[in-house]
Amino acid sequence: MSHFLSQESNRRLSSSPTGIQSSPKANGSPVNPETIRNRLVSSENEIRMASLNNGLNEDNIFTTSKGVVSVEMRSNDGKETPSAKWKRLVWKSCVYLVTVGMLVSLLMGLNMSWTAITAALALVDAGACLEKVSHSLLIFFCGMFITVDGFNKTGIPSTLWNLMEPYSKIDRPSGIAVLAIVILVLSNLASNVPTLLLLGGRVAASAAAISSTEEKKSWLILAWVSTVAGNLSLLGSAANLIVCEEAQRASGLGYTLSFWGHLKFGVPSTIIVTAIGLTLTR
């Protein structure tokens, strides 16, 4: 910057005599070359001082900004309250204690699986998981299993099975069809898991009276039909109820699937898939 100003002043000084010779008077008075030189020198000094002041101001701004950043960093570092620091220390101590306890339990010869699961449950924050639990579904399942157990103790299922057993022998196609229909209907009245609890032992005992091969086949039929029966209606499987409830609770969606709306595609798809699976069961 100063080099450029020096060159500029020298150029003006070298050109000033020509200007003075060509116009010896300005505004009617003679012009002194020394006066022009002094003015140029003073202008150059003023420009240098201004540039120095600008540089000092920039340094001050940079220093001030660094101070502000450091103050902000110190304030951010100081945000942790004593209670938060105490909680962090307690949590670390608990992690160390649980880990050491797990290692000691393994060295003592305790069951490896239960030891690892217990340590994991002690360290996992269950709050986020418990927020997603549907308490209405839990109450529904509890009531359903209690009702099924009470219904089974009445003796009605045994009486009904004694009436249907002669027609549901799995050693002939008609018996397989009758058994499949019974499983489909009961699975959509009491859900598939309670249906297996009601019919599993009775169907297996009836098939075992024929042969051991037929007993194995009866379990395959029970597993296949009860699984596919969950697609027929909303009550056929617990998964259907969970999906419907999650769809209703979804933000921005709020989709409600009705019982009859599900039957429109549930009935034909269930019948077709069940028939295909039964033909492949050996």
Q: Residue 205: is its pLDDT beyond 70?
A: yes
Token duo for residue 34 = 């020394």
Q: What percent of the chain has pLDDT over 70?
A: 70
Q: What is the pLDDT of residue 68?
A: 42
| pTM score | 0.52
Residue-wise pLDDT tens digits, 7-27: 545 454 444 444 444 444 444
Residue 121 — pLDDT band, cuts 50, 70, 90?
Answer: confident
Q: What is the pLDDT of residue 272?
A: 94
Q: Residue 159: is its pLDDT beyond 60?
A: yes
User: What integer is the mean pLDDT of 200-225?
Assistant: 89
Q: Which residues of 162-192 are buried (b: 16+ CB within 10 A; e: fewer)?
A: eebbeebbbeeeebbebbbebbbebbbebbb
Q: Residue 57: is its pLDDT beyond 60?
A: no
Mean pLDDT rounded to a whole number for the chain: 75
Pick from 181, 278, 274, 265: nearest CA to 227: 274
